[in-house]
Amino acid sequence: MIINGKKFAQNLKNNIKREIKFLKIKKKIVPGLTVILIGNNTPSEIYVRNKEISAQEVGINSKVLRFKNSITEKKLISIIHNLNNDKKVHGILVQLPLPQHINGSKIVEEINPNKDVDGFHPINVGNLSSGKDSLVPCTPLGCYLMIKSIKKDLTGLNALIIGRSNLNGKPMAQLLLKENCTVTISHSKTRNLKELCKKADIVFAAVGKPNFVKGNWVKKGSIVIDVGINRINHKNGYKIVGDVDFKSVVKKAKAITPVPGGVGPVTIACLLSNTLKAFKNN
Ligand code: NAP
């Protein structure tokens, strides 16, 4: 089965839209999301535009605050504090990467954890790892929902996480651990990755290397989630591929996410779902 991320995301968005419509009638207020975008990095511009379009589609009041690369850390912190105190703003997202003179961790820590829709604040990270309710980073959250849509009970399954980033691998490991999976987290220093992969019922690849996971690494009937977004040269210029060699793995996996059209759209839908959750929590 090839998991259709666009369709999955659309279903999530339809549910969010319905709930927001109801809130608007009942409470006369809608969730508000503010995205801070610094500089003129083209991929960031595209991501932010897509987030804005999707937010508007479901009825979230979305705003993008744009600043030049030269903005100071102090100024950025004061903007975040204003948003923390703004009752109409329920979600705050600072688009990464940030200019070098700005300390990303410090910025994340200034966001009110209840409005941290990226789920990067140490309080949210801590709550997730201690099994408490929290705002969860959007990409692993989306992957988790897709896995659960394939198989409801994940108890006892072997899950292999490839990549240990704070953004993807670590939160995904926590989500699967909470579902009683036996989780292995691998990274660039891991030995015998292929052998570990052969034992996995769930493979989550967030490596950043094109077509890294091969068909002969994967156990028959496994669920394979491909987070990678890699640009490679192609006859007509370039194309986007994942971290999984789709052609060979699709023959072995029970379910697989394609790239593009898999994890990407669901990540954005989960940002909207986190905004709605932040709204409800507030
Ligand atoms: P990252 O921070 O660069 O982390 C990559 C991880 O892969 C690191 O933990 C690294 O290990 C590990 N790794 C590198 N080579 C390896 C190897 N040979 N064997 C095993 N592990 C290896 O990457 P990221 O931010 O998590 O992103 C990963 C990919 O996902 C990228 O392609 C990115 O563009 C994509 N992405 C997609 C979405 C989406 O919405 N679809 C969202 C975010 C990111 P070390 O820790 O030892 O260096």
82 and 35 in a single domain? The answer is yes
Distance (Å) from CA 264 to ligand 1 centroid? 15
Band (31; pLDDT cuts 50, 70, 90): very high
Q: Are residues 68 and 143 in the same domain?
A: no
pLDDT, average across residues 249-266: 97
pLDDT for res 217: 98
Cα 205 to ligand 1 centroid, rounded to whole Å: 8
Could you read off the pLDDT of 96-147 as tens digits, one per residue? 999 999 999 999 999 999 999 999 999 999 999 999 999 999 999 999 999 9
Q: Is 90 exceeded by the pLDDT of residue 282?
A: no
Average pLDDT of the chain to the nearest whole number? 97
Q: Is residue 9 part of a domain?
A: no
What CATH number is given to the structural domain containing 239? Answer: 3.40.50.720
Ligand 1 atom with least separation from CA of 208: 32
How far, in Å, is the centroid of ligand 1 from the Cα of 228?
7
Please determine, for residue 11, whether its predicted confidence score (pLDDT) is greater than 90.
yes
Phi and psi based region of residue 148 (left: phi greater than 0; alpha: psi -120 to 50; beta: remaining): alpha
Mean local confidence (pLDDT), 92-98: 96
pLDDT digits (tens, 9 = 90+) for 184-213: 999 999 999 999 999 999 999 999 999 999
Share of the chain above pLDDT 70, in %: 100
User: Stretch 22-35: mean pLDDT, rounded?
Assistant: 94
Q: What is the reported pLDDT for 236?
A: 81
Q: Are residues 257 and 145 in the same domain?
A: yes
How many structural domains compose the chain? Answer: 2
What is the distance in A from the centroid of ligand 1 to the CA of 212? Answer: 11
Q: Are residues 237 and 158 in the same domain?
A: yes
The residue among 162 and 40 whose pLDDT is bigger is 162
Determine the average pLDDT of the residues in 46-69: 96
Could you list the residue range(s) of the whole structural domain that residue 76 is in?
28-112
Q: Indicate which CATH number applies to the domain containing 91.
A: 3.40.50.10860
**Do 213 and 159 belong to one domain?**
yes
- Ligand 1 contact, 87 CB (< 6 A): no
Q: Which of 13, 115, 116, 118 is catalytic?
A: 118
Query: DSSP states of 168-220 as a string?
Result: THHHHHHHHHHTT-EEEEE-TT-S-HHHHHHT-SEEEE----TT-B-GGGSPT
- Contacts of residue 44, defined as CB under 8 A and 6 or more positions apart, other chains included, come to 37, 95, 96, 97
51 is catalytic: yes
Assess whether the C-beta atom of 211 lies below 6 angstroms from ligand 1: no
Same domain, yes or no: 103 and 149: no
Asked if residue 84 and residue 145 are part of one domain, the reply reads no
Q: Examine the domain organization and report whether 151 and 236 are in the same domain.
A: yes
Spacing, Cα 57 to ligand 1 middle (Å): 30
Active site residue 56: no
Residues 98 and 143 in one domain: no
Residue 10 lies in a domain: no
Q: Which atom of ligand 1 is nearest to the CA of 266?
A: 40
Give the residue, by CA position, lying nearest to ligand 1 atom 18. Answer: 188
- Which of 46, 139, 188, 231 best tests ligand 1's pocket when mutated (most atoms within 8 Å of CB)? 188
Residue finishing a domain among 43, 78, 112? 112
pLDDT of 251 strictly over 90: yes
Summarised one tens digit per residue, pLDDT across range 206-232 is 999 999 999 999 999 999 999 999 999
Q: State the alpha helices, DSSP H only, in the chain.
A: 5-27, 42-58, 73-85, 104-110, 122-129, 138-150, 169-178, 193-198, 246-249, 263-281
- The first and second tokens of residue 190, run together, are 């891991």
Residue 125 lies in a domain: no
Q: Is the CB of 166 under 6 A from ligand 1?
A: no
Q: What are the CA-CA distances from residue 278 to residues 23, 96, 118, 149, 231 (Å)?
A: 14, 20, 11, 23, 34
Inside any domain, residue 164: yes
- Ligand 1: which residue has its CA nearest to atom 40? 264
- Do 61 and 173 lie in one domain? The reply is no
165 and 233 both lie in a single domain: yes
Answer with the one of 77, 97, 112 that is the final residue of a domain. Answer: 112
Q: Is 257 in the pocket of ligand 1 (CB under 6 A)?
A: no
- Residue 4 in any domain: the answer is no
Look at residue 133 and tell me if it is in a domain. Answer: no
